[in-house]
Amino acid sequence: MIRERAYPVEPWHVREIRLDMDVLAQSESVFALSNGHVGLRGNLDEGEPHGLPGTYLNSFYELRPLPYAEAGFGFPESGQTIVNVTNGKLIRLLVDDEPLDVRYGELLSHERVLDMRAGTLHRELHWRSPAGREVKVRSTRLVSFTQRAAAAINYEVEAVDGPLRLIVQSELVANESLPAQSRDPRVAAVLESPLLAEEELTTDDGGLLIHRTKVSGLRVAAAMEHEVQGPEHATIESEGYEDWVRTTIGCVLKPGETLRVVKYLTYGWSSRRSLPALRDQVGAALAAARLDGWEGLCREQRAYLDEFWDAADVLVEGDPEVQQAVRFGLYHVLQAGARAERRPISAKGLTGPGYDGHAFWDTEMFVLPVLTYTQPNAVRDALHWRHATLEQARERARTLNLEAAAFPWRTIEGPESSGYWPAGTAAFHIAADIADALRRYVLVTGDTQLEREIGLELLVETARLWRSLGHHDRNGVFHIDGVTGPDEYTAVKNDNIYTNLMAQRNLLAAADAVNRYRDEALHLGVTDEEAASWRDAAADMHIPYDDDIGVHQQVEGFTRLQEWDFLHTPAEKYPLLLHYPYFDLYRKQVIKQADLVLAMHWRGDAFTPDEKTRNFLYYERRTVRDSSLSACTQAVLAAEVGHPELAHTYLREAALMDLHDLNENTRDGVHMASLAGAWIALVAGFGGLRDHDGTLSFSPRLSSRLSRLEFSLQWRGRRLRVDVRPHQTTYSLRHADPDDVVELRHHGEKIQVSRDQPVTVPVPPADPTGPMPEQPPGRSPLLRLPEAQS
């Protein structure tokens, strides 16, 4: 795990005050830079030592075989894996022929800072070579939000003693050696050196490499150019081979003199464009980056982020760690989606190879809700990506003998890439998750054009799936059988309550959209009879409930299953999926992650307050949180049912998942859904945000340790600011016309907010909390509140 002292608590920075080799891979994920199109892991400039090298382009993948011990009809035959593309981060330094390597000589100081307002990763080090020569190095790296294909590095070397002969080697390198990612030799063979060289070009101050993947046939180009400032007699030359291009800069520095090198990087890829077209594309991107120059790129980056933070910032008073972490989470969520532009937002963004770079339902139910209220253009693009994969989803449905579209559980380009069928095939709730993301986006933005152009078709095809997948029994009750909900420890069961409730909303949303766009619906072949059947299915949907103990059932029959023996499950046996057979997990009352509790968040309108309280107490005792997706949802419901202190501990777990490496797997990339979950826990938990019926609703109430929570939301082009204090909340409106009015609810009471009339209302006292929820033995929240400082 990452030691807390490695990252001091600061509101706008993540600062590494020393280089810890034991957590190098984790820090590379934390310090990764991306814009949703290009992603650079936070590797050291000189490339070595490293935990896991990584340079990624959104949706640039290689096909690989999916291994099965015993295949079955409908199993996907191949998967997609994100590829580590050409590394342009490398800048090696030789000091009087001695390579700068922090493992040798003496590292006198080392600091890295992720600046979340500037959008840069800054590094400073002071190094003494084995021969006793000293240099100071300062580097600043950015991936541009405004120029989608561009990244840049400002690299400065100062001679402390001297004169020193310095050689800087700036490189593009393809087919880097990587740690093994799979034990299957077929997979390893595909992913080892996945790029085939097509063209290499060098210039005096840079070069270019073009490669393509062996199986998927995707083509990638990477280019670099340099600006050099230093002594008059500095030399610069370039050389290249099929997998690498190197620009070498040499000079002699006197004590106190500085060599400055600005490295411009551009990337492009395509499955269709020709080699000359791709070459020209990255060349044009280089010209644009150099036109702005380093200072111009930095100004554009800061201006972009100033606008983002004005619309998205969350202010937290009372827990400085959460304040830092929620901004860290928002920043990474922005990096994952800002310039994805009709490409997926994956579970790890572009920070590492975890989950093979796949996007899951996490995107729609954790990441997109945050972006909908903070950066809605990114959501528009994400929905376009899902729509672009519709034909593949239709083909998958046909394979499964279903109608309409069956969207994949995990994918990069659209085909199902999971070889584990209880999740990959049976997790049909992804269809309703996509529909809900669309519903929320249109509600928040008022973008009826997108709803008409692609939204209607997505709603129709997902509604048709539920009518095909579900059925009415002899008593007229509608059931959806043999599915897996969000909880992967309760797989292939009948009437998962999350799936049924989300499908119910999906069916009603589709029927309503058909009424709004009748001509377009007719073009899709929707009849009045079909739309009525959707309403019937929604009205007749089975919602499992145990009358004997007074709680809803996660799936039909869940409460009669055998209880898991938590008392005799040692801590080292978690996560359970790595130590127990799925057969044992599937038939007992043990829950990997919030499922019914998640339904009470997103479909809270389907439960009474008393039902939520009883359900939460019951399922809290059975949820082990073997998934990073769980803590934020448990925080939201703990806050709602009257346990704000428990909610705060779950908030901390979600928010600090990667900064503390709580699951010990941050090395593979940050947990995008958990980072988004920090925002959700604060805004939906302590802020009480809900949007069930098309109206913004808030029920704010803070934990005892929070003295203030302030956040912004985008709503129909305006910016609503919510300032929550222990005893009152103020709602104000910005970026609105004087006569604009937003109607919302505060603890159930309607209020109206205009630009010139903020509204301050009291926060009603909390109801008695009742019994304190209990977790399974040994599975209490991972991070308790720090002791109060005197």
User: Annotated binding site for substrate, which residues?
Assistant: 361-362, 592-593
Cβ within 8 Å of residue 227, ≥6 positions away: 205, 261, 262, 264, 290, 293, 294
What's the Cα-to-Cα distance from 573 to each of 49, 587, 624, rounded to whole Å?
32, 18, 11
Q: Looking at residue 663, what DSSP letter applies?
A: T
Per residue in 447-457, is it b (16+ CB within 10 Å) or e — as a string? Answer: beebbbebbbb
The radius of gyration of the chain from alpha carbons, rounded to an integer in Å, stands at 27
Q: Looking at residue 88, what DSSP letter applies?
A: -
Q: Is 20 exposed, middle or buried (0-12, 13-18, 19+ CB in 10 A)?
A: middle
Question: Given the structure tokens 């199109």, which residue do they identify?
Answer: 37
Which ranges of 603-671 would DSSP assign to H, the alpha helix? 609-620, 630-640, 644-655
Termini Cα distance of the chain: 28
What is the C-alpha to C-alpha distance for residues 757 and 201, in angstroms, rounded to an integer?
Answer: 62
Question: 711 φ, ψ to 5°?
Answer: -145, 160
- The DSSP bridge partners found for residue 589 are 563
CB count in 10 Å sphere of residue 111: 14
Q: Where are the beta strands (DSSP E) in 313-402?
A: 314-317
The encoded tokens of residue 439 equal 């519903």
Q: Where are the beta strands (DSSP E) in 417-538?
A: 471-472, 478-479
Answer for the pair 454, 558: CB distance below 8 angstroms, yes or no.
no
The encoded tokens of residue 92 equal 């090696």
- The DSSP bridge partners found for residue 221 are 210, 268
3-state helix, strand, coil in the chain (%, to 5): 35, 25, 40
Mapped onto helix, strand or coil, the DSSP state of residue 723 is: strand
Pairing of strands 741-746, 696-698: parallel
Q: Which helix (H) or strand (E) holds 749?
A: strand 749-754
Return the half-sphere exposure (C-beta side, CA atoms, 13 A cut-off) of residue 495.
18
Answer for the pair 680, 636: CB distance below 8 angstroms, yes or no.
yes
DSSP class per residue in 169-220 = EEEEE-S-------S-HHHHHHHSS-EEEEEEEEETTEEEEEEEESSS--EE
What is the C-alpha to C-alpha distance for residues 79 and 64, in angstroms, rounded to an integer?
Answer: 5
Answer for the pair 285, 266: CB distance below 8 angstroms, yes or no.
yes
- The DSSP bridge partners found for residue 172 are 245
The encoded tokens of residue 357 equal 């770079």
Answer for the pair 643, 772: CB distance below 8 angstroms, yes or no.
yes
CA 382 to chain centre: 12
List strands edge to edge, sheet with 33-34.
33-34, 38-40, 55-57
Amino acid residing at 233: H
The encoded tokens of residue 656 equal 């600090």
Active-site residue numbers? 488
Answer for the pair 387, 454: CB distance below 8 angstroms, yes or no.
yes
Sign of CA dihedral 407, 409, 414, 418: negative
What is the C-alpha to C-alpha distance for residues 435 and 446, in angstroms, rounded to an integer?
Answer: 16
Return binding residues.
361-362, 592-593
What is the C-alpha to C-alpha distance for residues 551 and 613, in angstroms, rounded to an integer?
Answer: 9
Q: Is 180 exposed, middle or buried (0-12, 13-18, 19+ CB in 10 A)?
A: exposed
